[in-house]
């Protein structure tokens, strides 16, 4: 009989409480603004499962037009959207190709193997970007009875653990052309696709051209309390809707949270540029601590900063503890590596305060 791993630290431990301070651990910690909360309060709702929630329908229609797809479906999370996309575009035993540090492989609890029963074929890359040549080398290219079928390529845009890098359009075009030639489906994990759009000055429709499905997260830089969208075309409609219900994605009167998504798409996209500028400002401040901190992606391209603790003064674990004591939080994603993510609840003054906290710790 299986037993609970008592050595593992679970998020639902009782001592976990809401963090109050300068939270750079992720852009998922954003709080809905008062105007967004008012939009949620005023939302007209119905039974979404019967397609009778007008606010949810409005959000889905707005998203499908924005991205240039036939349909969009509102879901509780981007992880669910990713898993539905994989299960829709693959058969059990097929190969899923993605960056080795993609969210699909490192942060979704083995979902591709559980929900879609696919073989995960990771491409080694530090940035989260990969090339056509790497695809040719790393995917199961042989077509015979012994080999799994390479059915799906997933691209993460921007790359999360690669440092918030948006894919260059010419590299995306090469991936799309190769996939079409090899008859392989394409999915984009666009959890931060609007950050990519702002940085590259390309519309999300241009970025997603040629892809079968795209995941769009609403609860990161856009500031919604929850929710995501999966955009796709009509030939996949029945399977996507079936998997949504299979995975428990029906939310009944979901218009309350869909209203936040509408507000975000209308008001919170252009302001992402502020997050990019604050990330750059933060890195410029970190340069003062170069004997203790090494920035991996300097300068940052969007809103994610990766840095290594290289100091001999004390350990990375102690640095993390000291920061938390002074109400500053980062994500510790490797033994000595940290991630800082700017977002709509982080101001320039917060970045200055974070710099002072690090200075005080080192002093």
pLDDT of residue 277: 98
pLDDT of residue 144: 73
- pLDDT tens-digit profile of 189-240? 999 999 999 999 999 999 999 999 999 999 999 999 999 999 999 999 999 9
Whether 317 and 331 map to the same domain: the answer is yes
pLDDT of residue 142: 59
> Which of 139 and 99 is assigned the larger pLDDT?
99
- pLDDT tens-digit profile of 151-202? 999 999 999 999 999 999 999 999 999 999 999 999 999 999 999 999 999 9
Among 206, 134, 236, 218, CA closest to 175: 134
pLDDT of residue 19: 84
Q: Residue 52 in contact with residue 225, Cβ under 8 Å?
A: no
Report residue 171 as tokens. Answer: 């590299």
Whether 263 and 279 map to the same domain: the answer is no
CATH assignment of the domain containing 348: 3.90.1150.10
Report strand pairing: 228-232 vs 293-295: unpaired
Whether 77 and 155 map to the same domain: the answer is yes
pLDDT of residue 140: 56
Whether 150 and 259 map to the same domain: the answer is yes
What stretches of the chain show up as alpha helix (H) in DSSP?
34-41, 54-67, 78-89, 103-106, 111, 132-138, 169-182, 193-200, 204-207, 237-246, 255-267, 272-286, 316-325, 348-362
Which are the contacts of 149, defined by CB distance < 8 A and separation ≥ 6? 91, 93, 94, 95, 140, 143
Whether 178 and 258 map to the same domain: the answer is yes
Among 69, 48, 37, CA closest to 232: 69
- pLDDT tens-digit profile of 284-298? 999 999 999 999 999
Whether 111 and 174 map to the same domain: the answer is yes
Q: Please indicate, yes or no, if residue 122 is contained in any of the structural domains.
A: yes
Buried b (16+ CB within 10 A) or exposed e, 27-62: bebbebbeebeebbeebebbebeeeebebbbbbbeb
Last residue of a domain, one of 222, 244, 267: 267
DSSP 159: B
Name the percent of the chain lying above pLDDT 70. 94
Last residue of a domain, one of 226, 249, 267: 267
Residue carrying the six token digits 């609840």: 345
pLDDT of residue 6: 46
- pLDDT tens-digit profile of 265-318? 999 999 999 999 999 999 999 999 999 999 999 999 999 999 999 999 999 999
- Indicate the number of domains in the chain: 2
Whether 114 and 208 map to the same domain: the answer is yes
CATH assignment of the domain containing 165: 3.40.640.10
pLDDT of residue 137: 82
Average of per-residue pLDDT across 348-359: 97
Question: Cβ–Cβ contacts within 10 Å for residue 196, how many?
Answer: 26
pLDDT of residue 1: 46
Whether 247 and 322 map to the same domain: the answer is no
Last residue of a domain, one of 224, 244, 267: 267
Whether 205 and 353 map to the same domain: the answer is no
Whether 160 and 74 map to the same domain: the answer is yes
> Which of 18 and 347 is assigned the larger pLDDT?
347
Which pTM was predicted?
A: 0.93
Q: Please indicate, yes or no, if residue 117 is contained in any of the structural domains.
A: yes
Whether 315 and 226 map to the same domain: the answer is no
Residue 310's domain spans which residues?
Answer: 271-362
Q: In which band, very low, low, confident or very high, does the pLDDT at 18 lie, cut at 50, 70 and 90?
A: confident
Residue 136 has pLDDT above 90, yes or no: no
Whether 88 and 171 map to the same domain: the answer is yes
pLDDT of residue 139: 64
Q: Residue 25 in contact with residue 36, Cβ under 8 Å?
A: no
43: cis peptide before it, omega within 30°?
Answer: no
Average of per-residue pLDDT across 115-129: 95
Average of per-residue pLDDT across 64-92: 98
């Amino acid at each position: 009989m299986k037993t609970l791993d008592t050595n593992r630290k679970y998020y639902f431990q009782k001592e976990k409480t809401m963090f109050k301070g300068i939270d750079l651990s992720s852009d998922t910690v954003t709080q809905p603004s008062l105007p967004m909360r008012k939009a949620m309060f005023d939302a007209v709702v119905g039974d979404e499962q019967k397609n009778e929630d007008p606010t949810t329908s409005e959000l889905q229609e707005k998203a499908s037009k924005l991205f240039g797809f036939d349909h969009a479906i509102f879901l509780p999370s981007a992880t669910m959207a990713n898993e539905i996309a994989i299960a829709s575009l693959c058969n059990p035993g097929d190969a899923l190709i993605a960056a080795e540090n993609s969210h699909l492989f490192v942060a979704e609890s083995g979902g591709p193997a559980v929900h879609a029963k696919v073989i995960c074929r990771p491409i080694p890359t530090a940035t989260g970007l990969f090339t056509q040549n790497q695809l040719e080398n790393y995917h199961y290219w042989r077509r015979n009875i012994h080999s799994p079928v390479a059915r799906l390529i997933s691209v993460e845009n921007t790359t999360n653990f690669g440092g918030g890098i948006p894919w260059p359009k010419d590299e995306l075009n090469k991936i799309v052309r190769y996939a079409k030639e090899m008859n392989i489906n394409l999915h984009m994990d666009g959890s931060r696709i609007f950050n990519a759009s702002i940085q590259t000055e390309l519309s999300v429709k241009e970025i997603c051209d040629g892809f079968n499905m795209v995941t769009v997260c609403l609860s990161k830089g856009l500031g919604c309390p929850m929710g995501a969208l999966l955009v796709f075309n009509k030939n996949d409609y029945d399977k996507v809707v079936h998997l949504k219900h299979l995975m428990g994605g029906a939310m009944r009167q979901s218009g309350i949270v869909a209203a936040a998504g509408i507000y975000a798409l209308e008001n919170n996209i252009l302001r992402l540029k502020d997050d990019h500028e604050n990330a750059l400002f933060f890195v410029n401040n970190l340069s003062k601590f170069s004997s203790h901190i090494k920035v991996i992606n300097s300068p940052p391209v969007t809103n994610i900063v990766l840095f290594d603790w290289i100091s001999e003064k004390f350990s990375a674990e102690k640095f993390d503890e000291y920061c938390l004591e002074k109400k500053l939080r980062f994500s510790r994603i490797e033994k000595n590596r940290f991630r800082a993510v700017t977002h709509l609840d982080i101001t320039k003054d917060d970045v200055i305060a974070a710099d002072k906290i690090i200075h005080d710790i080192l002093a």
